[in-house]
Amino acid sequence: MKVKDVMNSNVVSCKPDDTVREAARVLKENNISGAPVLEGEELVGIVSEGDLLKLLILPEKGELWLPSPFEVIEVPIRELFGWEETKKMLSDVGSTKIEEIMTKDVHTISSEASVEEASEHMIRHRINRLPVTEDGRVVGIITRGDIIKGLAKL
């Protein structure tokens, strides 16, 4: 079985200057977990739910710190400022451009490749989807789910 037999040729994509908010809406509306990022017809990246979720990881506070008696008064104030910074960071996440968070080193596959080759590639590189390209143009996308559906038809 070939990639072209199970791939989805109706590719939902994003643009590099789309915001995280727009990309999240596209993924949700299309019930997909990732999409190629195209600049015109050129594949420039791929964005996934994982890329979006990484934006929500809060920065580490650092090492253990024990306050002196004088600093006990300062701690609640310092924590309040830290919380305000965190709230501002989270509100800014939605306006982040996709080009800042997308994976730029994109693995692709030919429509003529075998499904076994696509599966092996996904497992080896720990990825869930492969844009399918022909002559440098995206003509489809194949996901792990597409491969499973293809196997179920055998």
Q: What is the CA radius of gyration of the chain?
A: 21
Q: Quick check: 89 pLDDT over 90?
A: no
Model pLDDT, residue 12: 95
Share of the chain above pLDDT 90, in %: 64
Distance CA 39, CA 57 (A): 28
Cα 59 from Cα 152, distance rounded (Å): 43
Query: 122-150, pLDDT tens digit by residue?
Result: 999 999 999 999 988 999 999 999 999 98
**Spatial contact of 118 and 147, defined as CB atoms under 8 Å apart:** yes
CATH of domain 3-55+94-153: 3.10.580.10
Q: What residues are paired with 130 via a beta bridge?
A: 142
Mean pLDDT, the chain, rounded, equals: 84
- Give backbone dihedrals phi and psi of 129, rounded to 5 degrees, phi first: -150, 150
Residue 37's region, left for phi above 0, alpha for psi from -120 to 50, else beta, is beta
Please report which confidence band the pLDDT of residue 53 belongs to, taking 50, 70 and 90 as the band edges.
confident
Q: Where are the domains positioned within the chain?
A: 3-55+94-153
Q: Which pTM was predicted? A: 0.75
